Amino acid sequence: MSENTKVVENATCTFCGCVCDDMDLTVDLDEHRITKAKNACVLGRAWFAEHTVEAYPAALIDGKEATTEEAVEAAAQILVNARFPIIYGMSDTTCEAQKQAVAIANYLRANIDTTTSVCHGPSGMAFQGVGESSATLGEIKNRADLVIYWGGNPAEAHPRHFTRYGVTPKGMYIPNGKKDRTMVLVDVRETPSAPVADIFLRVKPGTDFEVLWALRALVKGRTIDSSIEEKTGIPLETLEDLVERMKSCQFGVLFFGMGLTMTRGRHFNSGALLALASDLNEFTHFVANPVRGHGNVTGADNVVSWQTGYPFGVNFNRGYPRFNPGEFTTADVLARGEADAACIIASDPASNFSRPAIEHLMKIPVITFDPKPSVTSKLAKVAFTTATYGINVPGTVYRMDDVPITLRPAFESPYPSDEDVLTAIKNRILELKAAA
Amino acid sequence: MAETIMLVPVRTNKQGTSLNAGKLKDEYQLVTSTVEIDPADMERLGLTTGDKVRLRSPAVETVVTCQQRKGKGSTAGMMFIAYGPPSSELMDGDTAGTGMPLSKHLLVEIEGPLAS
């Protein structure tokens, strides 16, 4: 470590949706690396330690080194000449970059979708169908005395969720922290999150909807048959006890994760949980918040919603935005072999999509934006190396509870930001369309 | 010997830290291609930690390394793997009109141990 260091106080970690903004980063300015990340969790420490300035080419075209300007031209030509271009990803970049991506989709009459569609997309559908009773994490920290985590494992996926927001912190009306709260965990297995729970409910795989609907019935005073245990793995008495706790708490919260959205039932599961939270407001204050994965996936929902009216899976083909999950969501568009060009921003669908979707991605020209090589960038026709948001790039991100947070970058990168490259591509697209 | 077991892709600390180092690096590849199996299932299938097994969905198959699950409570009938390319390619491309492939609770055939 050199002696040329500085400390960035209250910096933000953008690795996960917790977006913890109390990082004190020690930065080696000569080596362009963060040497210490005070307050970071195990995932945050890896995020800061591993994002240094590495010697990647600024851009690759057909696997050969190119300048950013050459790659911008190549990307613009691909997108302008495509009949059904798709823009996808955006959960690990700033809202400012996301705005440029939506503008490009609009000008191209393209399809635009975010990683939300394969994350809490089903919850997004449920919000529209059922509504959302929610609160900020600050409000939950200060008020919630009953905290239920359903279908998630924060100890491994969001390590500071327990300590910063949901379980152990002392709050205005929760002066003794965990002692004043009851924490319930619902999952198909005893994860490392289970020891934190006061009550662990092990639900049989694929029966979350049945459990949630039974809880709704009990909240409304209906009778449930004891055979619910055989179906779901949870005894009726346990459900009755939970309902009593939910109805009698001062402020309850249901945090829910991929265990609901990625399993059979999908949006029906999320909808059942949201409806349960709404039902409980006849008795007490109860909210439901999705636990979001990537650092700015919530920002992607917000930006795409501001600009198109819909949160994900949006198509501009008719000159105005249309929303239809299953039709305009990227996993489907690719698996059906429909798109003829793809612009992948800060995500890695070649790692996360089904085989049919990946096979189609391999047949069409792909443009990628990523600070590091990824499985998707390896198959790209044009691959940009971009600076890392939050570490090198300022801007705005949204925490998982829809609270916007301003980034405080640690050191400069030799690579451009996603926003800079997207803006350049957008401007070139406008020139090409004007000339056509 | 082959039988059908439920595969549950999950998040793990190691997956999270290794993806920061890079998805093309060895550690991430190792973490995302290791499946955790309940001790009772391991014994019934004749598997020991480190064995290679083939996982097969209706359209796709992939080879991963198995490891005996260490967590509390029986999870017989379920296997767990960190999200990554091997688990994702076992998903069906059809999302039933939702945009979300069924990414957990995948019923896959497991065959092993494979000859190394």
Is pLDDT larger for residue A93 or for residue B73? A93
For residue B1, what pLDDT band results from cuts at 50, 70 and 90? low
Same domain, yes or no: A26 and A136: no
Q: How confident is the model over A268-302, as pLDDT tens digits?
A: 999 999 999 999 999 999 999 999 999 999 999 99
**Complex confidence, ipTM:** 0.95
For residue B71, what pLDDT band results from cuts at 50, 70 and 90? confident
Same domain, yes or no: A322 and A431: yes
Rounded mean pLDDT, B96-101: 94
CATH number of the domain to which A319 belongs = 3.40.50.740
- Host domain of residue A413: 57-119+295-435
Give the CA diameter of chain B: 41
Rounded mean pLDDT, A225-249: 98
Question: What is the predicted pLDDT for the residue at A207?
Answer: 97
For residue B3, what pLDDT band results from cuts at 50, 70 and 90? very high
Q: How confident is the model over A414-433, as pLDDT tens digits?
A: 999 999 999 999 999 999 99
A191, A264, A351 ranked by CB distance to B102: nearest:
A264
Q: Does residue B54 register a pLDDT over 80? A: yes
Same domain, yes or no: A284 and A171: yes
Rounded mean pLDDT, A239-264: 97
Same domain, yes or no: A260 and A342: no
Looking at CA atoms only, how far is residue B96 from chain A in angstroms? 7
For residue A3, what pLDDT band results from cuts at 50, 70 and 90? confident
What is the interface size between A and B, counted as CB pairs within 8 Å? Answer: 150
CATH number of the domain to which A150 belongs = 3.40.228.10
Same domain, yes or no: A44 and A178: no
Same domain, yes or no: A192 and A299: no
Q: What percent of chain A has pLDDT over 70?
A: 100
Put simply, the chain A residues between 176 and 205 with a CB less than 8 A from any chain B CB are 188-192, 194, 202, 205
Domain limit, last residue, from A255, A290, A325: A290
Question: Could you confirm whether domain B2-111 is CATH 3.90.226.10?
Answer: no
pTM of the model: 0.97
Same domain, yes or no: A90 and A171: no
Domain layout of chain B by residue ranges: 2-111
Same domain, yes or no: A126 and A273: yes
- Mean pLDDT, chain A, as a whole number? 97
Looking at CA atoms only, how far is residue B6 from chain A in angstroms? 9
Q: How confident is the model over A156-180, as pLDDT tens digits?
A: 999 999 999 999 999 999 999 999 9
Closest CA to A132 of A314, A273, A299: A273
The residue in chain A having the minimum alpha-carbon distance to the alpha carbon of residue B62 is A355
Q: Do A331 and B20 touch (CB under 8 A)?
A: no
Domain count, chain A: 3
